[in-house]
Amino acid sequence: MNALNAMNATGAPRRPRRRLRLAAALAAGLVLLALTPTGCFLSRAGYEQGRILARRKPIAQLVEQGGVDARTRDKLRLVLDARRFAVDSLGLDAGRSFTRYTDIGRDTLVLVLSAAHRDRLEAYSWWFPIVGRVPYKGYFDFGAARRAARGLRARGFDVYLRPSSAYSTLGWFDDPLLNTTLQEDSVDLANTVVHELTHNTFYAPGQAVFNESFASFVGAYGSGRYFAVRGDTASARRAESRWADDQLLAGFWQALASRIDSAYAAHPGRTSADSAARVVARDTVYARARQLLADSIGPRLSALGPTRAAAWAARVQLDNASLLARRTYARELGLFEEVLRREGGDVRHAIARIVAVAKASPKDPYAGLRAWLTAPPEPRPLR
């Protein structure tokens, strides 16, 4: 595991995961390069995407004819099977994504950069064509990523730089499976496939938090159902356990954000002294949060034992940039759970319902879901 990639998108200290995505840069880079002020960045993204596409090999051919080791072949079979399940049982739109495989020759695909103001919980954001404004930016050029991080830090922002092993182009291209994704175990690999195909199926422009949180929900439940249907109860239990970890951490990050906001509210002035006081107050909250992670949250994470939990709590980055980045993938997960319950536990129906409500509420999909959940249940047709 790459040492920089020791936690998943919601902050859990485990499995190399891919939840931080370059879709904005990759899709826009090839489609609208000449129309944007970020031409150099998008040109590099387009070039790298072209290299990935040019190196693709059909997964079915690799499985049947060989050319890869047995472990890789087994994982490729799982990807094809999970993809088929996502289409047939979950109703996701796969297009031709994950039918081909590319070895990019390194273990990290991109570095993803997030930043945030230090004296308020407000993310720094970037704008791209097609997908709108997003709170992260991915770099194939690792040196450029580190320079950008240093530049933002010098301007007074909190900065969070971390690796990613996969991305989605939201259906604009036939996304191949990458060797970086195959580093994951079988549970996370199935989760990855379902998560990314959720983006192929639906992506609300300018709603990165909703899109990623929704895909986190679908990836977790979809992969769990995939293993359960196939009789792999051990993997199904692992998927369920990891989702429980994600929800535990999501609640922790949400409560932490509320405490940070309260600390800021105690120093409402606009002078530089007020701003400095807000930073001191929030640093105190983060110090207490680290202790809470070590004493209460870490030991309850099923993927860790006490020793690893303590080590993770001691080293995990805690600041506004990392907090907002983690919350991007785990905001109001309970709403999706409520929709699932309202739909009788049918994941496919829940996915379709969430997409329909989000399309009808483009400015605030979360508000749309809350309104739907508080409305009287629709009568079910007679059978």
Boundaries of every domain in the chain:
3-185, 333-374
8 Å CB contact between 140 and 44: yes
Angstrom CA distances, 203 to 130, 195, 199, 208, 226, stand at: 10, 12, 5, 8, 23
Average pLDDT over residues 342-367: 97
What per-residue confidence (pLDDT) applies to 43?
A: 60
Highest-scoring range by mean pLDDT, 48-57, 147-156, 204-213, 309-318:
147-156
8 Å CB contact between 189 and 26: no
Q: Helix axis angle, 208-229 relative to 347-360, nearest 10°?
A: 170
What per-residue confidence (pLDDT) applies to 45?
A: 67
Q: To 5 degrees, how large is the angle CA 225–CA 231–CA 234? A: 80
Q: Render 302-340 in DSSP notation, one character per residue.
A: TT--HHHHHHHHHHS--SHHHHHHHHHTSSSHHHHHHHH
Residue 164 has pLDDT above 80, yes or no: yes
What per-residue confidence (pLDDT) applies to 15?
A: 46
Structure tokens at 287: 């110090």
Residue 26 has pLDDT above 70, yes or no: no
**Distance in angstroms (rounded) separating the CA atoms of residues 166 and 97:** 12
Residue 337 has pLDDT above 80, yes or no: yes
pLDDT in tens, 50-105: 777 777 899 999 999 877 899 999 999 999 999 999 999 999 999 988 999 999 88
Q: What is the CA radius of gyration of the chain?
A: 21
CB-based contacts of 11, cutoff 8 Å, min separation 6: 249, 252, 253, 316, 322, 326, 330
**How many Cβ atoms sit within 10 Å of the Cβ of residue 272?**
9
**Mean pLDDT over the full length of the chain:** 86
pLDDT band at 380 (very low <50, low <70, confident <90, very high): low
**Distance in angstroms (rounded) separating the CA atoms of residues 229 and 272:** 59
Secondary structure (3-state) at 64 = helix
Q: What's the residue count for the chain?
A: 383
State the burial class of residue 378 (Cβ atoms within 10 Å of its Cβ: 0-12, 13-18, 19+).
exposed
